[in-house]
Chains A and B, each alone.
Chain A
Amino acid sequence: MSDARDDILYAIKAARTEAPVVETGDETGDEIDSETKGEA
């Protein structure tokens, strides 16, 4: 199942790279902003 783990995580990262910047919040997904997360 380790291949599945890698594939899934890779697909998530790839989707983020290809995705347009999302419409709400300040995050682009590249970094975890703990303050913003706390506000959520």
Chain B
Amino acid sequence: MESTSRTFKENAGKALADAKLRAALDKLSDGFPAKRLEAKARLPEFDDLRDAARDIKHHTLANLDFYLEEFEARVIEAGGAVHWCRTAAEARTAILKICKQAGARTVTKSKSMIGEEIAINEHLEAHEIEPVETDLGEYIIQLRNEPPSHIIAPAIHLSMEQVADTFRDKHRHLASDRALEEPRALLEEARSELRQKFIAADVGLTGANMLIAETGSIVLVTNEGNADLTYCLPKTHIVLASLEKVVPTLEDATTILRVLARSATGQDMSVYTTFCTGPKLDGDLDGPENFHVVLLDNGRTKMLGSEFHDMLRCIRCGACLNSCPVYKAIGGHAYGWVYSGPMGAVLIPNLIGLDEASHLPNASTLCGKCEDVCPMRIPLPGMLRALRRRQFERESTPSVGRFLLRAWAFLARRPWLYRMAITPAVNVLAALGRRRGRFRRLPLAGGWTKLRDLPAPEGGTFVSRWHKKGGHKERSR
């Protein structure tokens, strides 16, 4: 997928001006985060499970080569094949080769962020193979030729009316006066269209939520069952997964599953959780005859051992997106590449380069909510700060900003000087802003006041007001 991360500011500006998008994103606040909290409350050991899940991935990453080789050996034993790919181009080539060997004209797909990462749909189409997305959200955005805007709810940016309009526009063979006002009607129409595609597909392409080294199995988690039809109906099943998806054992996979659905959608368990191991055996009623795993690096090994090592624990639940005030204001498309929200703001610069995604580390208030909700306890705000530090050190940020940061750091290390500089400035601003209570314009703060007013200070610094209220005495008691 081609990146538009360079134009993040313009993308965000457009998103903020899009009333339909804002209405769609408003629903997010009441949905997933509230359900996650309810699911957490139902499971007293939830935080202990988060620790256990973190430790599993931590251990796996420390021994990644061992577990990948174990996984490969078990896949081969089961009758499958593993294709190691350093880059997106290698993965595209490997998948196309398998599709051609299978004589494929149609490939059904279940939702795969790695598929988006390597732009596999465009590649297959360029070689006259039709890719068909089978996750409802992905199907909708494929019809609209749009990228996903959320890693677990790819069409969350759309209203029901927009989906109905898309179906009317793309499903021209159906009666134009059919009723599409109810969600059920939309679902039935998509199901009916997709059923024929499932049956006709020559190859099924899925992602994988996890790869299990102990058994060579892959884990597929969906709420629609589309991944199951994608993998078991065609003669060939291709699994496209990045290498950090491996876990040591079945037991480890079940621990991670217990935090995955709860963190993602607030469900105790996703509706369909499937473990696939190799092609079908003699006597099996269904399943693919050929089983291929395409293992993708695409920059992950560079993150190993770096400041961003822990990012490789991410299980793509989307909890950090759902709780991020920036994501909830602008949605996923503004980030300009496959991933979005706090995890995207860390992952994208690591995968496509900090220069290409230079705005993303700053697309955060550093409120820390993402780290609070992350089931794998990834220190996302710390990583965003690390990326900002890199930008500062490389001098890739504007010189005025660097000068102001240096001046701030100089003052912050000298409290007496800080007070001398800040107190008069705060008092002047308080006096100037007393009448209106806010500023519409302010020198050096144009970026802020362009879109919003700056509240006027009430006078005095936090510390001086703290002392006036006697807070310091209360604390020392």
- A residues 1-40 touching B (CB-CB < 8 Å): 1-2, 4-5, 7-9, 11-13, 15-16, 18-20, 22, 24-25, 27-29, 32, 36-37, 39-40
Q: How far is the CA of A23 from the CA of B69 in the complex (A)?
A: 25
B243 touches A8 (CB 8 A): yes
Tell me whether A40 and B56 are in contact in the complex, defined as CB-CB below 8 angstroms, given that A1-B94, A8-B243, A16-B304 are known contacts. yes
B1 in the interface, Cβ–Cβ < 8 Å? no
Nearest CB on A from B45, distance (A): 15
Q: How far is the CA of A15 from the CA of B304 in the complex (A)?
A: 6
Tell me whether A1 and B309 are in contact in the complex, defined as CB-CB below 8 angstroms, given that A40-B55, A40-B59 are known contacts. no
Nearest CB on B from A39, distance (A): 8
Q: How far is the CA of A9 from the CA of B64 in the complex (A)?
A: 9
Q: Of A1, A9, A20, A25, which is within 8 A of B59 by CB?
A: A25
B252 in the interface, Cβ–Cβ < 8 Å? yes
Q: How far is the CA of A29 from the CA of B58 in the complex (A)?
A: 10
A1 touches B305 (CB 8 A): no
Cβ contacts under 8 Å, A15 to chain B: 301-302, 304-306
Q: How far is the CA of A18 from the CA of B305 in the complex (A)?
A: 7
Q: How far is the CA of A25 from the CA of B57 in the complex (A)?
A: 11
| A interface footprint on B78-98 (CB within 8 Å = 1, 0 otherwise) | 000001111000100010000
Q: Of A2, A4, A18, A19, which is within 8 A of B90 by CB?
A: A4
Nearest CB on A from B229, distance (A): 29
Interface residues on B, range: 20 to 34
Q: Which residue of A lies closest to B86 (CB)?
A: A4
B305 touches A16 (CB 8 A): yes
A32 touches B55 (CB 8 A): no
Q: Which residue of A lies closest to B54 (CB)?
A: A24
B344 in the interface, Cβ–Cβ < 8 Å? no
Q: How far is the CA of A39 from the CA of B55 in the complex (A)?
A: 9
B248 in the interface, Cβ–Cβ < 8 Å? yes
Q: Which residue of B lies closest to A31 (CB)?
A: B63
- B residues 45-75 touching A (CB-CB < 8 Å): 52, 54-56, 58-59, 62-66, 68-69
Q: Of B54, B63, B309, which is within 8 A of A32 by CB?
A: B63
Q: How far is the CA of A16 from the CA of B309 in the complex (A)?
A: 11
Q: B-side interface residues toward A, CB under 8 Å?
A: 52, 54-56, 58-59, 62-66, 68-69, 83-86, 90, 94, 243, 248-249, 252, 295, 297, 301-302, 304-306, 309
Closest 9 CB pairs of A and B: A19-B305, A15-B304, A11-B301, A29-B62, A15-B305, A5-B84, A12-B65, A4-B84, A40-B55
Q: A-side interface residues toward B, CB under 8 Å?
A: 1-2, 4-5, 7-9, 11-13, 15-16, 18-20, 22, 24-25, 27-29, 32, 36-37, 39-40
20 further contact pairs, Cβ within 8 A, besides A9-B69, A27-B62, A40-B58: A1-B94, A4-B84, A4-B297, A8-B84, A8-B243, A8-B297, A12-B304, A15-B302, A15-B304, A15-B306, A19-B304, A24-B55, A25-B58, A25-B59, A27-B63, A32-B63, A37-B59, A40-B55, A40-B56, A40-B59
Supply 11 A–B pairs (Cβ within 8 Å), ascending by A.
Answer: A2-B84, A4-B84, A8-B84, A9-B68, A11-B304, A12-B304, A16-B62, A19-B309, A25-B59, A40-B52, A40-B55
